[in-house]
Chains A and B, each alone.
Chain A
Amino acid sequence: MSLFEARNVTKLFGSFKALDNVSVSVPEQCIYGLLGPNGAGKTTLIRIINQITGPDTGELLLNGRKLIPEDVMSIGYLPEERGLYRKMKVGEQALYFAQLKGLSRTEAMRRLKYWFKKLDMVDWWGKKVEELSKGMQQKVQFITTILHEPKLIIFDEPFTGFDPVNANTIKNEILFLRERGATIIFSTHNMGSVEELCNNITLINKGKTILEGSVDEIRRNWAANEYDIVFSGNVKIEGNGQYTVLKQEFDDERSTVRLKTTVSMGTNEILSNLIKSGTVVSFNQALPSMNEIFIRVVESKN
Chain B
Amino acid sequence: MNKISVIIKREYVTRVRKKSFIIMTLLAPVLMAAMIVLPTLLMLNNDKQFKKIAVTGGGSVIYRNAITNTKDVEYVFLENANLNDLKNNYLKAGYYGILNISPELANTPNAIQLFSKKQPPIDLLEHIEGSLEKEIERQKLLGYNIKDLDDILKSIRTKVSVQTIKIDESGKATETSTGIAMAVAYIGGFLMYMLVFMFGAQVMRGVIEEKISRVVEVIVSSVKPVQLMMGKIVGIALVGLTQFLIWIFLTAAIVGIVKIVVFSKSNVTQVTQMIPQSVLSNNQVQASATVPSTNATQVNPQIAQFSKMLDNAMNQDWLLIITSFIFYFITGYLLYASVFAAIGSAVDSETETQQFMLPVTIPIILGLFVAMGTMQNPESSISFWFSMIPLTSPIVMMARIPFGVPYWQIILSMVIMIITFLAFVWMAAKVYRTGILMYGKKSSWKEMWKWLRYNG
Verify B222–A100 contact, CB threshold 8 A.
yes
A101 at the interface (CB under 8 A from B): yes
Task: Classify the secondary structure of A's interface with B.
Answer: loop
Verify B222–A86 contact, CB threshold 8 A.
no
B3 at the interface (CB under 8 A from A): yes
A66 to chain B, nearest CB (A): 16
The answer for the CA separation of A104 and B428 in the assembled complex, in Å, is 31
Restricting to A80-107, which residues have a CB under 8 Å from any CB of B? Answer: 81-88, 96-97, 99-102
A79 at the interface (CB under 8 A from B): yes
The answer for the CA separation of A102 and B222 in the assembled complex, in Å, is 9
A50 at the interface (CB under 8 A from B): yes
B213 at the interface (CB under 8 A from A): yes
A255 at the interface (CB under 8 A from B): no
Verify A52–B213 contact, CB threshold 8 A.
no
Verify A50–B221 contact, CB threshold 8 A.
yes
With A52-B437, A100-B223 in contact, is A83–B215 under 8 Å at CB? yes
The chain B residue with its CB closest to the CB of A145 is: B218
A53 at the interface (CB under 8 A from B): yes
User: Which of B214, B222, B454, B456 lies in contact with A82, CB distance below 8 A?
Assistant: B214
Instruction: List chain A residues, Cβ under 8 A from B221.
Output: 50, 52, 72, 75, 77, 79
Stretch at the interface among B6-14, B81-89, B339-347: B6-14
A164 at the interface (CB under 8 A from B): no
B272-300 contact mask (Cβ, 8 Å, vs A): 1 or 0: 00000000000000000000000000000
With A77-B218, A83-B213, A83-B215 in contact, is A100–B437 under 8 Å at CB? no
Task: Classify the secondary structure of B's interface with A.
Answer: helix
The answer for the CA separation of A83 and B215 in the assembled complex, in Å, is 4
B18 to chain A, nearest CB (A): 9
Restricting to A123-172, which residues have a CB under 8 Å from any CB of B? Answer: 141, 144
Verify B455–A97 contact, CB threshold 8 A.
no
Restricting to B376-404, which residues have a CB under 8 Å from any CB of A? Answer: none
The answer for the CA separation of A84 and B216 in the assembled complex, in Å, is 9
A27 at the interface (CB under 8 A from B): no
Instruction: List chain B residues, Cβ under 8 A from A56.
Output: 455
Verify A13–B454 contact, CB threshold 8 A.
yes
Verify A97–B222 contact, CB threshold 8 A.
yes
The answer for the CA separation of A14 and B450 in the assembled complex, in Å, is 8
Instruction: List chain B residues, Cβ under 8 A from A37.
Output: none
User: Which of A81, A83, A99 lies in contact with B6, CB distance below 8 A?
Assistant: A99
A189 at the interface (CB under 8 A from B): no
B316 to chain A, nearest CB (A): 43
B314 to chain A, nearest CB (A): 46
The chain A residue with its CB closest to the CB of B436 is: A52
Most A CB atoms within 10 A — which of B7, B10, B218, B454? B218
The chain A residue with its CB closest to the CB of B454 is: A13
Instruction: List chain B residues, Cβ under 8 A from A75.
Output: 221
With A87-B14, A88-B14, A96-B6 in contact, is A52–B215 under 8 Å at CB? no
Instruction: List chain A residues, Cβ under 8 A from B220.
Output: 50, 52
**How many of chain A's residues have a CB under 8 angstroms from any CB in B?**
31
Instruction: List chain B residues, Cβ under 8 A from A97.
Output: 218-219, 222
The answer for the CA separation of A102 and B221 in the assembled complex, in Å, is 12
Restricting to B335-365, which residues have a CB under 8 Å from any CB of A? Answer: none
The answer for the CA separation of A88 and B206 in the assembled complex, in Å, is 13
Verify B14–A82 contact, CB threshold 8 A.
no
The chain B residue with its CB closest to the CB of A13 is: B454
The answer for the CA separation of A61 and B210 in the assembled complex, in Å, is 31
The answer for the CA separation of A230 and B3 in the assembled complex, in Å, is 61
Verify A52–B225 contact, CB threshold 8 A.
yes
B439 at the interface (CB under 8 A from A): yes
B177 to chain A, nearest CB (A): 49
A47 at the interface (CB under 8 A from B): yes
B435 to chain A, nearest CB (A): 13
Instruction: List chain A residues, Cβ under 8 A from B222.
Output: 72, 97, 100-101
A54 to chain B, nearest CB (A): 5
The answer for the CA separation of A75 and B223 in the assembled complex, in Å, is 12
Verify A82–B7 contact, CB threshold 8 A.
no
The answer for the CA separation of A167 and B48 in the assembled complex, in Å, is 81
B47 at the interface (CB under 8 A from A): no
Could you list some 22 contacts between A and B, CB below 8 A?
A14-B450, A52-B217, A52-B220, A52-B221, A53-B456, A54-B455, A72-B221, A72-B222, A72-B223, A75-B221, A82-B215, A82-B217, A83-B213, A83-B215, A83-B218, A87-B14, A97-B218, A99-B6, A100-B3, A100-B222, A102-B2, A141-B218
Q: Which residues of B contact A (CB under 8 A)?
A: 2-3, 6-7, 10, 14, 209-210, 213-215, 217-225, 433, 437, 439, 450, 454-456
Known: A79-B217, A84-B215. 17 other contacts (CB 8 A): A14-B450, A50-B220, A52-B217, A52-B220, A52-B225, A54-B456, A69-B224, A72-B223, A79-B218, A82-B214, A86-B213, A88-B14, A97-B219, A97-B222, A100-B222, A102-B2, A144-B218
